[in-house]
Structure 1
């Protein structure tokens, strides 16, 4: 119903329909002109509407819309227009005309005119069908020619054969693939292309063709003219005639040598990577972004205490301490935000084994895209528990050594102060007493005693400076800022070619004695390096107190040097003082940064919590 309505609406929108109806109305008005009085209009002449057979002329006008309808709407249009014409002219002949034979003439005219219009419509349809058939055949010929060209120029081997397997067509692609020319192949049975041990396969394909079966992407082996074997992918389709009867088959063969080689290489590569995955000493897991483990190797199973089958499907939250899990999530978020930048950053994790024991792992993670397009995480974890424990033992030992050094410095400073200085002071007093001996000593002896007294005083000053260097008393009494100011003053007094300034900012606070001593030693070592190696004319020691921590900075304008990338390189370069500063900063729980360039000076910055 809806389709018929849409078709009728489409016809009603056709402008030719309304043009034909307008002509029908116009000629109807003329046909009935003398009844409606238009014969008296100035536009018409009275003779056009008078006389016995004048209405024959009026009826002839209806040939125009009849022909128009036949040309535009063909047979159906001609029939409808003829019926409408008869409906217009016959009533006048019956009801109005004064002549004896108007009905006969009107009917005859209607029949003849309608028949002519219908014949014209039929001829119009015939010509259109003929033109459509000619166009269809032309397109079919073009399609066949194009198909023949495609078959001929196709890179795939396309072979036509009968139901019995006799080759009837052989294109250029077949010549290239198999090495036989069309003259050599056409007329032969297609089985000559199969290796001797695969004749049964050929019979199976022939039988399938007789049953109308289509074979798609069937991979097999075929033999070339030179005897070599080539892997091919076959598509065998039955060929039917106009009656639907199977008359033969088309065989399309594609050389898949490169694909097979690629597949073989891929399998070998997968086998190598699988062996690497399984046999590496580092634990490896593959997981999704939610943390669910998809793959795991034996090393990971040994590290966690679970079997590989148990690890598959577990979530990493079951294997990590809470702080480590949070760090993994932060690392994953950075990787997702910077997917175009490869990551080689190592970070530590605390793994919880199946038996509850915690192990320390060093991890590297990266992202990759799985076969289904999902983003996966590849994590490599190395067990560094023993190394970390050994490192902590070494650091603890170094801490004890530094403490022992400081204690030994304090002991030596006390002994020098309490014993050596006291003895030298006594010696000085005795020399003073001898020098005041009422002139009984010769002048030359008195001068010698005076020089000896000066030497004793110089030795005492040196010992005092030495004891202060060993353990400055103002560090314990007045704090770090005063001790650093004293050290700067001592350097300025001893080194005339180097001017050192001291700056402090923020509200000074007292740190623990150990922290103040470690910061003092770092500043002492840095200034010692400035004096001995930098060739600087000026240096600055700054101490900044802030709520978030204390920052000590030593800067000079000397020649600078190349900072080793790792501290292990400092020992090889003979820069043991740098190692000492780093170790003291680590004992502080702070960070040490050394910035230097050739010719642009050096800056040593250490930051620690208050």
Structure 2
């Protein structure tokens, strides 16, 4: 092509020939092509050169394949750089060859050089460093060492974070090295610790606490729950809750269960329970349903208080006009007796102890009572009037003690008559403060389970995107590179390769769709409305149902949990329309108020 190339060729021929040298040649029509030139000098018997043999091979396709491979490798490096998981490539001796940005963010360093400059020991907590040394020792000795494990690291700023690590062999720059993927599980660890603390508190609570599946199988009970029914915890776990009620009681319990599934909760309700020995006892129950993103119940929780002594006190009070029964005086349940004008006629010691007000301070008081809270006086007054007119009534109220401390009570309000003549109003209290706290803890416990499930969905979606999809994409590029060598491959091989490419594309589309359904990343990035727009566009591409989105009001971002829940509802609704209806059109209406 150039005089310099010709001069180089002449000089190399003079010293005996050229082997495997690449040149750019010029065709007759002026076009150029890259080729590999191999030459050998022919000599006669005397050793004098008589000719030259030259072999020229067109290397354009090889150059294209090398370029494609270079691009594929660069894409692979780019996918590592942008991965949300921390990724490190190390040698068998632990020397750091590569670290992506996520690893730097996890450790809190600004560059790979800064990360490498810190001694390995300083990256770990003492306990985790000892485990690291033990794993390294096993690998050096050729003994099995876990490929999946957890570590506790110390960031540059001193904060301790907990990571899940997945280690495997990879080819890096043509040599066998080791890739380690790091996932930050600190929040998961903290959640697990909170759940452990909740269980420890619940196990020691004075109230019964239980959790059942929507089908009615007991998955958790505390010692109080099991004890009040005469069972051990082990005897109840896995059993259907119907063993705790008679057939007659189950009619009310089933009604409450359906109400719980539909409404999400029910206030304090008096329900009779059956013990292991067949005897029955009255209990005050509250319930809460924990549902998934689609509104489907995951678990039903309940707190139970044995009110046998309270029922006995009520019976004694109805029989004792002077309220001097020892059962009333010794009853652990607070009791109030009201006259027709709502003035206080009697309070027992349990109520004095709970509120901090003495009997002398309370007898003769009319509404508003000393324990009423200023902000809710109007509401409490209305409830009192309703209870006095409607007779038997149950409701919950928030009150304030004499020392200012607030507490919750569940109240049963009854009108007592003798021979049809009004005698007094009987108000029986149950302190629900601890029960409310336990219920809140239980709701937190169940909500954390739901959050953990969503976090696991997010993790699986990331792994599918960063591992499976990237590997399949690399495979597809490799197939493309091979099929370009058509003239060198048999027709049936090319046909099979094209089939493999089609199958790889199909699997890639399926994985992308599955990853998106598991955890639509667009919600985290741009919000609910764009995610719903994509959802409707995907359905329109299938040409089965024409979908559209109507947004009413001023669009704004909501909290992540709410956005995800609304998206899941719309996603499941459209899926059901597509599968089970004959509709040709569907509309999602999103209204911001």
Q: TM-score, normalised by structure 2?
A: 0.40
Q: TM-score, normalised by structure 1?
A: 0.39
Larger-Rg structure: 1
